[in-house]
Amino acid sequence: MNKNQFLVSFQEQVIVAQCTPQGAGAIALLRLSGNDVFNVVDKAARLASGKRLIDQNSHSIHFGSVINQRGQSIDQVLFLVMKGPRTFTGQDTVEITCHNNQFIVEEIMNTMIICGARIAGKGEFTQRAVTLGKLDLIQAEAIHDLIHAQTAASLKYSLQQLEGSLSSWVFEIENSVLEMIAFCEGSFEFLDEEMEFGADILKKMEQLLNKINKLLATFSKQQYIKEGIKIVLMGSVNVGKSSLFNCLLEKNRAIVTPVAGTTRDTIEAGVYKEGEFLTFIDTAGIRETEDEIERAGIDRSFQEASVADIILLVVDRSQKISIDIVAAYEKIMQNYSDKIILVYNKMEEEILFEEIKFDERSIFVSAKNNQNIDLLYQEIFKKIKQLKGSDAITCLLNKRQYDLLFKFYRDLEEVLPMLTIRRIDYELVSYRLKESLSLMAELTGKTISQAAFDKIFDTFCVGK
């Protein structure tokens, strides 16, 4: 058996996996798929009707039991019969709904393995759907993004891409390149008549580059939609960062004491608000210290600031701080001015500290009395709006898709000068355009190495 035959055989095998999360609950769902799935399941299935699953109509549900090798009933279940190719994978599929007790689930799984199934690999159901042409690779990745969506907007875009929005966009790009290739090959036919299509190809090329560039330019803003907003609280010791952190989360997540330097490491927690997923990070207070552990925590505070989307720079209005700390604040504001919101805490107390001069509007709050937290949130959402900008985002690219599309864009850019010379080498232009199309084929999964294919699906859960 050669490698291709082995892969075909491997993909035809009956696979089984639990699709619902492990743990106690009302019901669990097990999925089996493969060319011989009905014969495998029928070995352990006992329908109340006394019939076999293989003889039932597609997309029908049947009550019965799963029987172990000792002839004992494991559980009363529902069998959903789905016959290929009208299934998710394109293969014959059976889904078993049982009571969600892990002992029951594991015994049913073990019984199916004894009957001829094997445990599915990560993302193997989706991988089979791609291999059998039910989905392209972009749609498969959209399923993964859909499951792990952190925001309402990310969920919306993932659904659109599962339905084919990005795939359709790529199809339009491929068609544009094919049209340019057709013009090049048309020039071969009309060389004697001195008919040239250079101007037409150049115009299409410029339009295509502009279209791709618009999507690539929104990639950094797409990450705010996909991953949410990272908000770091920074400031000197004992300014009330942890109290403010708890106020923003509306729960006591960080330890709060009067002792300076209580927070020695970063503490992270997320909250959904107004359709956004916000990750707040409380950090160690900035000060001069000989304590090695505390110093490491302060270093980590600055590391978090460098990758934050927004920094809440917290000042205690009731305490006088040293010149060194003032210098540290000014350095932070200088380095990260575009993402800082200056927050004056302890507004309920007497003002002893002169306000730091800063261009951005300051917010005055009392974490102790939970005052003006709503105003701080308003400022945070203004900052988020600035981060996202006004550019329309049509698709959400992952890193693999972005890298391939960026390389494709660069390849087309290299062809552009070849279209502006007096004597265009249409044969060479055609060759370069055909070569660039291989990147689009890799993007959709038409041509991709098995190693790259496996790497993508290794991030999927087993039941998908």
Look at residue 97 in the predicted model and tell me its pLDDT: 97
Same domain? For 49 and 152 the reply is no
Same domain? For 430 and 326 the reply is no
Residue 451 lies in a domain: no
Same domain? For 33 and 103 the reply is yes
Residue 230 lies in a domain: yes
Q: Which domain holds residue 126?
A: 3-133
Domain's final residue, options 112, 133, 154? 133
Q: 277-294, pLDDT tens digit by residue?
A: 899 998 877 765 555 555
Judging by beta carbons within 10 Å of its beta carbon (0-12, 13-18, 19+), is residue 237 exposed, middle or buried? buried
Look at residue 328 in the predicted model and tell me its pLDDT: 78
Alpha helices in 228-274 (DSSP H): 241-249
CATH of residue 400's domain is 1.20.120.430
Same domain? For 190 and 324 the reply is no
Look at residue 185 in the predicted model and tell me its pLDDT: 80
Look at residue 345 in the predicted model and tell me its pLDDT: 85
Look at residue 6 in the predicted model and tell me its pLDDT: 47
Chain-centre distance for alpha carbon 371 = 36
Residue 461 lies in a domain: no
Residue 79 lies in a domain: yes
Query: Which pTM does this prediction carry?
Result: 0.74
Total count of domains within the chain: 3
Residue 126 lies in a domain: yes
Residue 342, amino acid: L
Alpha helices in 115-227 (DSSP H): 124-131, 137-147, 152-162, 165-189, 198-217, 219-227
- Full pLDDT tens readout for the chain, 464 residues: 444 444 447 788 999 999 998 877 789 999 999 999 999 999 999 999 999 999 999 999 999 999 999 999 999 999 999 999 999 999 999 999 999 999 999 999 999 999 999 999 988 999 999 989 999 999 999 998 888 887 888 888 889 999 999 999 999 999 999 999 888 887 766 554 445 677 888 899 999 999 999 999 888 888 888 878 899 998 888 888 888 898 888 877 554 444 444 444 578 888 888 878 899 998 877 765 555 555 665 667 777 788 888 999 888 877 777 777 777 788 888 888 888 898 888 877 666 555 555 445 688 888 888 888 899 999 999 988 888 776 677 888 999 999 999 999 999 999 999 988 878 888 898 899 999 999 999 998 887 767 766 776 677 676 67
List Cβ neighbours of 407 (8 Å cut-off, separation of 6 or more). 439
Q: Is residue 243 classed as helix, strand or coil in its secondary structure?
A: helix
Residue percentage of the chain with pLDDT more than 90: 41
Look at residue 453 in the predicted model and tell me its pLDDT: 63
Residue 333 lies in a domain: yes
Domain's final residue, options 365, 388, 411? 388
Same domain? For 46 and 145 the reply is no
| Separation CA 318–CA 365 (nearest Å) | 12
Look at residue 306 in the predicted model and tell me its pLDDT: 80
Chain-centre distance for alpha carbon 84 = 30
Residue 90 lies in a domain: yes
Same domain? For 384 and 241 the reply is yes
Q: What is the DSSP string of 391-458?
A: --------HHHHHHHHHHHHHHHHHGGGGSSSS--HHHHHHHHHHHHHHHHHHHTSS--HHHHHHHHT
Residue 16 lies in a domain: yes
Same domain? For 230 and 377 the reply is yes
Same domain? For 285 and 150 the reply is no
Same domain? For 342 and 369 the reply is yes
Domain's final residue, options 100, 115, 133? 133
